[in-house]
Structure formats: structure tokens, C-alpha cells
């Protein structure tokens, strides 16, 4: 059975950028619910419970019709949020270095142009979804709790949750303010590590 991973920092650690209230509701509420519903969906299929979350959502065709949507939504939710907590850090912000910095500069001209391109896509997601940086340093979005893995893509290097539950209590409808604030807590060493392992 799948379990809720611990946050790698305290609920109040992201301070003025994402409140303790949001972090608690998002982790103990939303993420836990995805885990619970995923486990409930897989109750009758013990062979699928043996798979990793990556294996499960990379091959949704192997999931029986009657639970495929539940596994897609809740398995995606579990995988995406498990990554998301690690994409942030109370000591985050600033800029990446090394090969990742070089790659982003080569592709986008400069670091700020990358930030602008990613932020524009995040703000433009209609409804609920995610924006991702992929290992080839392209930027893509997915609706709902879909992952790039579901369409045969690689696991992302970085991603931002733009569901209203991720920001509404702190930023109301101003998603662009949330996106702007989020860059202050991005865990670049984690992204660099994922880029070097790609």
C-alpha cells in the first residue's frame, strides 16, 4: 500500500511564501486523500499494489477499466505531490549552478527568460493542473493530476502545482503572485541532482 511521505521540512518552514495553513491542508489533507483513494482503488488488485507509483502511472493501460480513472487521478496526485514537496526548501531560491545553469542559459538565453517562460505557462494553465520542467529543459503543462509519465514522457526535473488549493488561502485569485513568490523557495540543488541523474 502507498503511504504519505513526510514533508522534508516543518509545515511553517516556507514562511511568508506559503503559509503553514496551506502546507498542512495540502499535505495532510489533499495529498493524504490521494493516497487513501489510490489504496482504495487498488484494494481488489494486489498485483498492482506491488508496483512503484512510477510503474503504475507510466502504464495505465495495465490498470483495469473500472479503476483506471481513479488510479490516474489519485496515483498522479500522489506522485506529483511527492515530487513537489522536494522541489521546495526553506533555504531555496537564488539560481541553479553548473550544468543545469548552463543548459537553461543555452536554451532560454538567460536565467530570467527561463523564469518568465515557466511563469507564463503556469499562469496560463486554465483550471487545475501543473507546469513542469523536463530533462530536455523544455517546459510543459498537464491538466488535473496528470503526469508527463502518463504520455510516455520522463519524470520532470521541477514542477509547480497551480491548483487553487495550492495558493488560494494566501493569494486568493492572484495566481501570478503565488508563482512569483514560489521562485524564492525553489530547491535548485534538488533540480540539479535530478538533471545530473537524467
Give dist(CA 27, CA 104) in Å, integer: 30
Closest residue to Mn ion: CB criterion: 161
> Shortest gap between Cβ of 43 and Mn ion (angstroms)?
24
- In the window 76-105, what residues touch Mn ion (CB under 5 A)? none
Cell numbers linked to 83: 515530487
Q: Which is nearer to Mn ion, 166 or 185 (CB)?
A: 166
Give dist(CA 75, CA 69) in Å, integer: 9
Total number of residues that touch Mn ion (CB under 5 A) = 3
Q: Which is nearer to Mn ion, 2 or 163 (CB)?
A: 163
> Shortest gap between Cβ of 164 and Mn ion (angstroms)?
9
| Residue 161 binds to Mn ion (criterion: CB under 5 A) | yes
Strand partners, 139: 133
| Residue 190 binds to Mn ion (criterion: CB under 5 A) | no
Residue 80: closest CA among 20, 127, 141, 171:
141
Cell numbers linked to 97: 549552478
Q: Which is nearer to Mn ion, 77 or 96 (CB)?
A: 77
Q: Which is nearer to Mn ion, 34 or 114 (CB)?
A: 34
Region label for 93, one of left (φ > 0), alpha (ψ between -120 and 50) or beta (otherwise): left
Interaction site with Mn ion (CB under 5 A): 161, 163, 166
Amino acid at each position: 500500500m502507498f503511504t504519505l511521505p513526510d514533508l522534508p521540512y516543518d509545515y511553517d518552514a516556507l514562511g511568508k511564501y506559503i503559509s503553514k495553513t496551506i502546507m498542512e491542508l495540502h499535505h495532510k489533507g489533499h495529498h493524504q486523500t490521494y493516497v487513501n483513494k489510490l489504496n482504495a482503488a487498488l484494494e481488489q488488485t494486489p498485483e498492482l499494489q506491488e508496483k512503484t507509483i512510477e510503474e503504475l502511472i507510466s502504464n495505465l493501460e495495465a490498470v483495469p477499466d473500472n479503476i483506471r480513472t481513479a488510479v490516474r487521478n489519485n496515483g498522479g496526485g500522489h506522485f506529483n505531490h511527492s515530487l513537489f514537496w522536494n522541489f521546495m526548501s526553506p533555504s531555496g531560491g537564488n539560481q541553479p549552478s553548473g550544468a543545469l545553469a548552463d543548459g537553461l542559459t543555452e536554451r532560454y538565453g538567460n536565467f530570467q527568460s527561463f523564469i518568465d517562460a515557466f511563469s507564463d505557462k503556469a499562469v496560463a494553465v486554465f483550471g487545475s493542473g501543473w507546469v513542469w520542467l523536463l530533462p530536455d529543459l523544455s517546459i510543459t503543462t498537464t491538466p488535473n493530476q496528470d503526469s508527463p509519465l502518463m504520455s510516455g514522457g520522463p519524470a520532470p526535473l521541477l514542477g509547480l502545482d497551480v491548483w487553487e488549493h495550492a495558493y488560494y488561502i494566501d493569494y486568493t485569485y492572484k495566481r501570478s503572485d503565488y508563482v512569483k513568490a514560489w521562485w524564492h523557495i525553489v530547491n535548485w540543488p534538488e533540480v540539479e541532482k535530478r538533471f545530473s541523474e537524467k
